[in-house]
Chain A
Amino acid sequence: MFKVIEIFRGIEIPKNNLCRIGLSVVLFIILLGSFAPLIAKDPYETNMAKRLESPSSEHFFGADQLGRDLFSRVIYGARTSLIVAITISAFSMGIGCLIGAVSGYFGGIIDDVIGRIIDVFLSIPEIVVNIALVGVFCTIYGSSTWNVILAVVFTNWVSYARITRGIVLSLKEREFIFCSKAIGAKSSWILFKHIIPNALGPIIVLATLNVGNIILTIASLGFLGLGIQPPTPEWGQLLNSGKNYIATAPWITFFPGLFIALSVFGFNLLGEGLRDILERRRIYE
């Protein structure tokens, strides 16, 4: 963990505007999600008297078709989306980095086999595989948030593996790796102590950008009714439930859509900003 901190030491985030804006947006959404119980009301409480009520001082975002407070549902939705997206990103990063590092470091047949597997994954549209997998998991294990996580991780690790493989290919020719071999270190030692800490910068950038993408994927699955199941509030699913009332009560779709856009925007800006900072540092080195 402290290696990650070491990488960020000396970075002055406020100097980079992209980073500054992105970080504010991301922090804003994270804070909203974390303090949801303090800010919002009960997102499950229905009140048919307030069905499809428009935004007011009592219900900032209005109410949905069951009279639930939309503001609360959107904010609790931020919780779901962020937790699931970050979990997926973390799992994919672990799996992808390990596979990519092994592939790049050992080369030869291992690299060929992993390379072809990656090619196969890249040749199929991700969302199609995700939809199919969620369906399969649902019939076997019943509906659960883990279905979505596993299905997305299944296609998502590939980008981490590709990036890590590339970095490792260039790192393993560096002299300090040679030096480490000369002192008799094992391959696993070299991989975990020397190669992965050096590869962390670009991987962190990728992970940040990736969280934005995953939020979109989760929302897409939710919109199709395959994601996180109601009544748990989730942005894509809120969009779906509002689509029949788009002419009469547009706020049901507008506010979840706004939050999806805002969070993806925030993570992308943060990622781009981090890339600027880390790449510049690499060139400087």
Chain B
Amino acid sequence: MIVFRHRKSGDASFLSHIDAMRVLQRTMRRMKAEVRYSAGFVPHMLTYTTTPLPLGVQSVAEYFVADSPLGNEEELLERFNACAPFGMMADFCRVTQGNPNLAAKVVASSYEVKAEERISDEVLQILDMTEYRMRRMKKGQEIDEEVRNRIFSLATDGDTLFMTLATGNENLRVDSFVESLSRFGVKASANDIVRTEQFASLDGKFVAAKEIL
């Protein structure tokens, strides 16, 4: 397997997950990577990814896995970047023996949010709360949910908010969460959010996904 950590930044952040997958698969074709295909009537490229980002949210730490034989990591990274569109470039490549199954292992993501104004430390009160409720849209309907146990860390520095939120099966939608922070005066849109890393849980600690490969 080949694992790439790539960006999804700038205009590329507005690509839907399906579109982004297609872009990455075409990147693999252009770089002439030997990716395996499914054996069905309509063969499709065997590729894997982690939890999709909401539309507009940027990232410098998306993981894309292709079912491909071994290769030279440095050379693969160079070829990937020569064939990927701007905004989807990779900064890391690792060749693994088996499928790292990152979709199941990733449990948290760190984010940076650049707000329109300086962020008040009031937002950190969330960490002292036993319950934090927010509203968000789900399948066209507004729902109210309790998400406190999916907020792992919050910190501020001027107009920037740093946070670690649940990702994966117990996901916390980052754009909805940031929107809910308007009650603390935080003004930011989806495109002001950048996912900076994804983490797996190892012995009770968060470890960057690239470190468990």
Q: Is the A/B pair a real complex?
A: no
Q: Which residues of B contact A (CB under 8 A)?
A: none
Q: Which residues of A contact B (CB under 8 A)?
A: none
